[in-house]
Amino acid sequence: MKQVRCPNCGFFCQKYGKTRYDLQRWHCKQCKFTFINSYDKTIQSFQSFLKWLFGKGTQKGMVGQGRSFRRHTTMFWDYWALPPKVEMPSKVIYVDGIYLARKACILIACNDTYVLGWYLCRYENARAWEALLNRIAAPIVVVTDGGTGFHKAVKKAWPKTKLQRCIFHAFQQVKRYTTTRPKTIAGVELYGIAKELFHIKTQEDARSWVQSISAWKIKHRKFLAETTTDDNGTIRPKHERLLKAENSLNILVRNGNLFTYLNDAFDFKCPSTNNRIEGGINAQLRAVLRNHRGMTIERRIKAVFWWCYMHSPNPLSLKEILEVMPTNKSISTIYNTMNERSKLEASISTWGDAIVWSDLHFYDKSFNSSWD
């Protein structure tokens, strides 16, 4: 039988009768402390909550259709799983954003093994990306799908990191303009050039591919120069979608972000696509949300947070998580405190800014000031 230790001094205790509710009483001979060793089921309930959240089971299939489960686990929806600060640099980091609603996006960063960070924002922008990257040690290469504002953020947060644009997303961007069945010869040829991205293995292949884009533009110069007039009388390019598709590739080539994975200076195999985060993380998160569809937007966000945290490098134990992680109440308290402080600072001058002119200048003739 497991021996019970005294919560006061830590020595072993002995049985000391029972209470009127038939609960075992314990007594410590060392400090003369008597207590009841009650069993806390909070950790067990938290474990059941996470198991349900990451699994496919439904509450309707539980005993009592999940009423007992909800009663014991509702409290855990108040917690927020915050990301750790990653100080161990990785060679390659993958980043992407997953939208949970029209104005709710979670930016995620990971390496080949763990989720390194996540950040909640309304939409992808440079400020949100920078907030995510600042908590993660700079890698050698970062692979991205070209999210809005990421290029600006990575220059500021990770200035020495090489950027690799996912070639699959580069191809997808061209396909959106040309479609899979282009109706013009120029569109068919450009779509074929974009598909060749998946077959580039050497620097020589990359140079030949870039030359093929230049040759395509020269070949169809007259065709691409055709214009048309819209209903407002504005002259526009007739084949604007083809020009946008070609320009999307030219920008990547000009910035040097398309063939970073062919750099011979790397002592590791650099990936050319963002498949690690798309299939390994985003697909898993969508499965969690699909298995428990019907949750509010706040609970969907917390579900993604919990999944990311439990797949981070060194997650805390369940007991430590409940002691450390903030709750809705604690965050609301901090917010209200900061809000009141900002109002106070707006109404009262801060230290060093509240000097009154009359404190340094005297106009009483009876007072002699030699320095005024």
Judging by beta carbons within 10 Å of its beta carbon (0-12, 13-18, 19+), is residue 135 exposed, middle or buried? middle
User: Which residue type is seen at 218?
Assistant: I
pLDDT digits (tens, 9 = 90+) for 281-340: 999 999 999 999 889 999 999 999 999 999 999 899 998 999 999 998 888 888 787 777
DSSP string, 241-302: HHHHHHHHHHHHHHHT-SSGGG-TT-SS---SS-HHHIIIIIHHHHHHHHHTTT--HHHHHH
Q: Which residues lie across from 144 on neighbouring strands?
A: 165
Cβ distance 8 to 33 under 8 Å? yes
**Chain-centre distance for alpha carbon 275:** 16
- 10-residue mean pLDDT profile of the chain (372 residues): values are 79 88 87 82 91 90 86 92 90 94 91 94 92 94 90 94 94 93 93 94 94 93 90 87 92 91 91 91 94 92 95 91 90 79 58 46 48 40
Cβ distance 257 to 165 under 8 Å? yes
Q: Which residues lie across from 119 on neighbouring strands?
A: 107
pLDDT digits (tens, 9 = 90+) for 203-215: 999 999 999 999 9
Q: Which residues lie across from 35 on neighbouring strands?
A: 26
User: Which residue type is seen at 322?
Assistant: L
pLDDT digits (tens, 9 = 90+) for 69-105: 999 999 999 999 999 899 899 999 999 999 998 888 9
What ranges in 221-266 are assigned the alpha helix state H? 221-224, 240-255
Cα(149)–Cα(157) distance, integer angstroms: 12
Tokens of 354: 């509240």
Cα(86)–Cα(81) distance, integer angstroms: 15
pTM of the entire predicted model: 0.79
Cα(23)–Cα(38) distance, integer angstroms: 8
